[in-house]
Structure 1
Amino acid sequence: MKKHIPNMLTSMNLFSGSIATVMAFQGEFLWVVVWVIIAALFDFSDGFAARLLKAYSPIGKELDSLADMVSFGLAPSVAVFSLLSANVYKISDNSLVVDYLPYIAFLLAVFSALRLAKFNVDERQTESFIGLNTPANALFWVSLCYGLTYNIPSISVGLIYTLLVGIFVFSALMVSEIPMFSLKIKSLKLKGNEYRYFLAIFIIALVAYIGVLGIAGGILLYIALSIINSRKPV
């Protein structure tokens, strides 16, 4: 029975991501954030359970990527698509632009798939990441969509263009060769975990101050810290 527990947790990740996708189509961005966070918790717990129970399996590895594709690839893409669909008229009255430009959001899904496929065959990513991981990318976009909808009085033309550029930047980050430190803490000691503790404190403080949008700010800091850390002399 215990050998099935990790796969059950992974399946709950997929289930949560499916609900997040439906919420994204409906423009319920707060629930998108909630269900993506729940999916991320299941994503963390399935690996932890597999290590604890020594219940590794080839099926589990494949199922994990399939679940992540929905929860951290498709769900945030649909959220960005919904946000752009509701605001793209501000930058053009051309029907082709209004009807089709929002589909650029699905580049995030495409590059999430590439990222997950690359991760499965890249033996360098056992202790850290090469490129932005899909959960971090997803949390950035879903929290940003919520924040822009409920924290910003009106989405400006400049902000829409920034979103479009951001889609390309984050897509590139997911398949980049930039080293990104893992967020998993193996010991409670400060040494070796300085960036992780600083990031956790920063995100908690930012969320307490500005709400859900603080998660997006925390992901930007995570990317910045990873770049700084990668430039440290070995």
Structure 2
Amino acid sequence: MKHIPNFITCLNLAAGFTSVIFASSGSLVVASWLILAAMIFDFLDGFSARLLHAFSEIGKELDSLADIVSFGVSPAIIIHEMIKAAAGTGHGTSVFMSDVLPFVTILMPVLAGLRLAIFNVDSTQSAVFRGLPTPGNAIAVISIVLAAAYSRSPLIASFTASPVALAIYSVTLSLLMVTRIPLISNKFKGFSFSGNEWRFIFAGAVLAMLVIFGIASAPLIIPLYILMSLAAFYLPFSSPPSREDTSSRSTSKQP
């Protein structure tokens, strides 16, 4: 039973690596769905570890290794391919646009790795994250791909057709992972509303947004997460999440 969480983490890694293969061949929609599968496994490994009390240092390190592939490398390849495709569709595209600009995506896996390393040694990031978590980075990337594939939004189409806009988006996401901006942890403390207020509000807002506006609104998930986190921590009437006991933090799994 104690090996179940690590097995699920390996499924996360397998989904992430398969996503890399599809992204490298230009199948960005399939690659995005595989990243979504990796996110589900990433949630389940931590959930099963807490349920079975199967925490370990090996599990913690394995989880970070899986996350850098699934939520750092694969999203970077996806947006690299998107920039190349956008640059190739323009008239009179320069060599810089088509051959140099796509490599700004190198920042993404590098800073994702740095973000995970910082998380593993920072005992304060239990109830509060500092910087965008790597799954959030992946959501921001795949939401653009899925919105472009399954909606007819002219705004999304215009955005994905601009190599400069995509490059700026990639750099911004990369830098957000290593900022010290306080963000709400996505780890629910049980099923009670008390102590999970902002998490339930965010989940409800995302669900309502997707139901009302459809997949075209998916790229707004991460901006909404950041804005709600800032509201939780900085508005005078808000009640920000408190820090949890970090005595067992060294053996917990990366969310």
Using the size of structure 2 for normalisation, the TM-score is 0.82
Equivalence map 1:80-95=2 (5 Å): 80-89=79-88, 90=90, 93-95=93-95
How far 1:157 moved relative to its partner?
8.8
1:115 matched residue in structure 2 = 115
Tell which deviates more after alignment, 147-156 or 60-69: 147-156
1:9 matched residue in structure 2 = 8
- SS of structure 1 residue aligned to 2:126: coil
Amino acid at match of 1:133: P
* 8 Å CA contact retained: 2:133, 2:177: yes
Q: Indicate how the Cα distance of structure 1 residues 220 and 157 shifts in structure 2: closer, same or farther if over 3 A, else same.
A: closer
How far 1:210 moved relative to its partner?
4.2
1:129 matched residue in structure 2 = 129
Count of aligned pairs: 233
Q: Indicate how the Cα distance of structure 1 residues 66 and 156 shifts in structure 2: closer, same or farther if over 3 A, else same.
A: closer
Unaligned runs of 5+ in 1: none
- Structure 1: distance between partners of 2:195 and 2:55: 28
How far 1:81 moved relative to its partner?
0.7
Unaligned runs of 5+ in 2: 241-255
1:26 matched residue in structure 2 = 25
1:231 matched residue in structure 2 = 234
1:60 matched residue in structure 2 = 59
2:192 matched residue in structure 1 = 189
- Runs (4 or more) in structure 1 with deviation over 6 Å come to none
- Structure 1: distance between partners of 2:130 and 2:91: 35
- Structure 2: distance between partners of 1:182 and 1:64: 17
Q: Indicate how the Cα distance of structure 1 residues 166 and 100 shifts in structure 2: closer, same or farther if over 3 A, else same.
A: same
How far 1:214 moved relative to its partner?
2.9
- SS of structure 2 residue aligned to 1:142: helix
- Structure 1: distance between partners of 2:169 and 2:159: 15
- SS of structure 1 residue aligned to 2:3: helix
- SS of structure 2 residue aligned to 1:93: coil
How far 1:217 moved relative to its partner?
1.0
2:145 matched residue in structure 1 = 145
Q: CA RMSD in A?
A: 2.2
* 8 Å CA contact retained: 2:160, 2:166: no
Q: Indicate how the Cα distance of structure 1 residues 83 and 210 shifts in structure 2: closer, same or farther if over 3 A, else same.
A: farther
How far 1:159 moved relative to its partner?
4.2
1:172 matched residue in structure 2 = 175
Q: Indicate how the Cα distance of structure 1 residues 52 and 158 shifts in structure 2: closer, same or farther if over 3 A, else same.
A: closer
How far 1:76 moved relative to its partner?
0.6
Q: Would you say 1:215 and 2:218 are equivalent positions? A: yes
- Structure 1: distance between partners of 2:42 and 2:64: 10
Tell which deviates more after alignment, 115-124 or 156-165: 156-165
Identity, in percent, stands at 37
2:166 matched residue in structure 1 = 163
Tell which deviates more after alignment, 181-190 or 207-216: 207-216
How far 1:74 moved relative to its partner?
0.7
Amino acid at match of 1:55: A
- Structure 1: distance between partners of 2:126 and 2:141: 25
* 8 Å CA contact retained: 2:87, 2:162: no
- Structure 1: distance between partners of 2:190 and 2:28: 35
Amino acid at match of 2:206: I
Tell which deviates more after alignment, 56-65 or 130-139: 56-65
* 8 Å CA contact retained: 1:199, 1:218: no
- SS of structure 1 residue aligned to 2:145: helix
Amino acid at match of 1:168: V
How far 1:170 moved relative to its partner?
1.5
